[in-house]
Chain A
Amino acid sequence: MTQLTFYGIDAIGLKARNELLPGRLIVIEGTDGVGRSTQLNLLRPWLESSGYAVVDSEMTTSVLVGAGLKRAKEGNTLGSITLNLFYCTDFVDRFEDQILPALRAGFIVLTDRYIYSLMARALVRGADPAWLRSIYGLALRPDAIFYLKVGIEDIIPRILQGSGFDYWESGMDLRLGNDLYESFINYQTLLLAEYEKMAAPYDFQVIDATLPAEVIAEQLKRKILPLLPHG
């Protein structure tokens, strides 16, 4: 049972409706290129073969604004407060439309990032911390948050072997460097610092993401098992 506990105001009003959420909410957090989707792809078949129904949810995939957000990011008029609220709308739509129904139905919800990445990005873009805490205060406290931790030096080869430097993943809107590489280093360094600051107050379980993927998956499975219904 996912408890009805929130970081701030329960703006959606779940407590008033006495919601029962027999599912589990498990969050994989970490910066770009850290191997989150690799882990989700390893966890999902393991859970399903153990008889659990699994739903996953990823950023910018909301029915409501997913496409609009992607379109807005391609233009050049998006201000930082607007960007932050766009992401927040996307999150809350996924929260109400994908995550909550799955939790009600007893699913194991694996989310590729949650409010923490959104807050980290917003903080780097100068958002007011108290403002962020109150708007994202409507989010349920997950049953577990696994933070895949790497240093900046470990991300570079992963990104280069993957899709290369991306405009937004490099924080180019913030003009932190002369080119993608410089900006990427500066932006990701700031992001990692924000994750570090959140680790203790939000009870992140820190995982060393420089280990081989299979080793990380084993660690995650060991930690997830006791959280499962009849686990």
Chain B
Amino acid sequence: MQTYGSHHFPGKLFIVEGVDGSGKSTQIALLRQWLISEGYTVFFSEWNSSPLVKKATSRGKKKQLLTPTTFSLIHATDFADRTEHDIIPPLKAGAIVLADRYIYTAFARDVARGVDRQWVRELYQFAVQPTLAFYYRVPLQVSLSRILTGRAELKYYEAGMDLGLSSDPHESFRLFQQRIVDEYEAMVDECGLTVMDATLPIPDQQRQMRALVRPHLRGVRRLHDPIQYTNGLDLASVMESVENQLNRHSGEQL
């Protein structure tokens, strides 16, 4: 078993992190389209449950069987399946793997639940270290209003109700999200996250992201030559896909 930082693959791994409502899913979807148009083989790995673990996880949540430790472990099991199927094989094949949320989501969420910080980090030692890990930083008030607008109900674990922070789900969610943000901030230096200002206009963020990714693409195999746009970034198509992505990701949850 290879441990974090010791993997060497021809492929590249770019991941986005941040709280719900930070716009990270939009950014990685745009990055994906750009990479494809540049001729790269791109594999997109979602934070969804793997088929193997899905049943147990949703049952555990529905019946509220999970303690902070088993919550952490069942998600680590899920992530291991994702690593063994969706991440390592494409990286070995020289592809660019993109992931919406990664181990840092687990670090933030599990520690916010009271699991030992060091233990969670050891638990995820099997994970591949990303080429670049983007953290979309957004003021808590902004992300909360983006999420809570139009949401009638918050799920039990999503709102951190298992922590007993507050009997009101919205208040509990707010306190839980604050803890998560604190953990993310502490990880910026510890885990080498690349901080992105998620309050900037979407095309500006995307331009920065591409500029940061580009140097890491040297030597990565392309399937075809880049598709040429007359005005460089082609903002019209960017904005169009932004809207598509926003519609698609409006139901996202942690």
Q: Which residues of A contact B (CB under 8 A)?
A: 8-13, 63-65, 67-69, 71-72, 75, 77-82, 84-86, 88-89, 92-93, 96-97, 126-128, 130-131, 134-135, 137-138
Query: Looking at chain A's contact residues, is the secondary structure mostly helix, strand, loop, or mixed?
Result: helix
Residues on B with beta carbons closer than 8 Å to the beta carbon of A65:
56, 60, 74, 77
Encoded as 1 (CB less than 8 Å from any A CB) or 0, chain B from 77 to 114 comes to 10011011100000000000000000000000000001
- Given A13-B114, A131-B122, are A82 and B84 neighbors across the interface (CB < 8 Å)? yes
Is the C-beta of B65 less than 8 angstroms from some C-beta in chain A? yes
- Given A126-B1, A127-B1, A135-B123, are A89 and B81 neighbors across the interface (CB < 8 Å)? no
Task: Find the B residue at minimum CB distance from A95.
Answer: B69
Q: Which residues of B contact A (CB under 8 A)?
A: 1, 3, 51-53, 55-56, 59-60, 65-67, 69-70, 73-74, 76-77, 80-81, 83-85, 114-116, 118-120, 122-123, 125-126
**In the complex, A8 Cα to B125 Cα: how many Å?**
16
Query: Looking at chain B's contact residues, is the secondary structure mostly helix, strand, loop, or mixed?
Result: helix
CB < 8 Å neighbour of B77 from A63, A86, A128: A86
Query: How many interface contacts (CB-CB < 8 Å) are there between A and B?
Result: 106
Residues on A with beta carbons closer than 8 Å to the beta carbon of B67:
12, 96
17 A-B residue pairs with CB within 8 Å = A9-B118, A11-B120, A13-B116, A64-B70, A68-B56, A79-B80, A79-B81, A79-B85, A81-B84, A82-B53, A88-B73, A96-B67, A131-B3, A131-B126, A134-B122, A134-B123, A135-B123
CB < 8 Å neighbour of B65 from A63, A71, A75, A82: A63
Residues on B with beta carbons closer than 8 Å to the beta carbon of A63:
65
List 12 extra interface pairs beyond A64-B74, A81-B126, A96-B67, CB under 8 A.
A9-B116, A9-B122, A10-B116, A78-B52, A79-B84, A81-B1, A82-B81, A86-B53, A92-B70, A128-B3, A128-B126, A131-B122
